[in-house]
Amino acid sequence: MVDRFNEALLVALALALGLLALLAFAQVIARYLLGAPLTWTEEFIRYALIWSVFLGVGITVRKGMLAAVEVINATVPPPLARILTWISLAISAVFWSVLIVYGWIILGNVEGMRSGALEIPMAYVYSAIPLGSVLALINTLVVTVAPPRADAELAVD
């Protein structure tokens, strides 16, 4: 179920990044050819990229694509490599949990604030932190049960 959700999310993120590229292109055209820059695109792109990173990190966790110290796993005996993998997963789970807690705290701190150009509540922007961290934590827990395949790095779908 998590993998199906991740696949749908990956498609949505790919489409969103394509849209962001078009918006960036439109901003360049408006600024340099028309002499009238769009006031909202830069802020929208910035916030959408933040959301894309936080939503996408869970997928990278599940596919085993986060930066890892493969040299250590390759040089130590397999039993020690498994122990180090479990330690790494535990540290990751703690990290995502801390981000969830502090992301929630940040939401309280930015209550009532609005963005400069778009005038959207900043809580919408900052909610990417706890939501993305929840997705990453879920994917980390799934990896503990069903580790990614060795060729998963090559299969970005």
Site of tokens 């493969």: 70
How far is it, in rounded angstroms, from Cα 154 to Cα 157? 9
H or E stretch covering 109: helix 78-109
How far is it, in rounded angstroms, from Cα 18 to Cα 12? 10
Contacts of 6 by beta carbon, 8 Å cutoff, 6+ apart: 58, 59, 62, 139
CB 94 within 8 A of CB 125: no
Q: Is 13 helix (H, G, I), strand (E, B) or coil?
A: helix
pTM over the 0.85 mark: no
Short-list 20, 13, 43, CA closest to 135: 13
Site of tokens 């060729």: 151
CB 140 within 8 A of CB 87: no
Domain spans in the chain, listed from the N-terminal domain onward: 2-145
pLDDT in tens, the chain (157 residues): 888 999 999 999 999 999 999 999 999 999 898 888 888 998 999 999 999 999 999 998 888 877 666 677 778 898 998 898 889 889 999 999 999 999 999 999 999 999 988 999 999 999 999 999 999 999 999 999 988 776 554 455 4
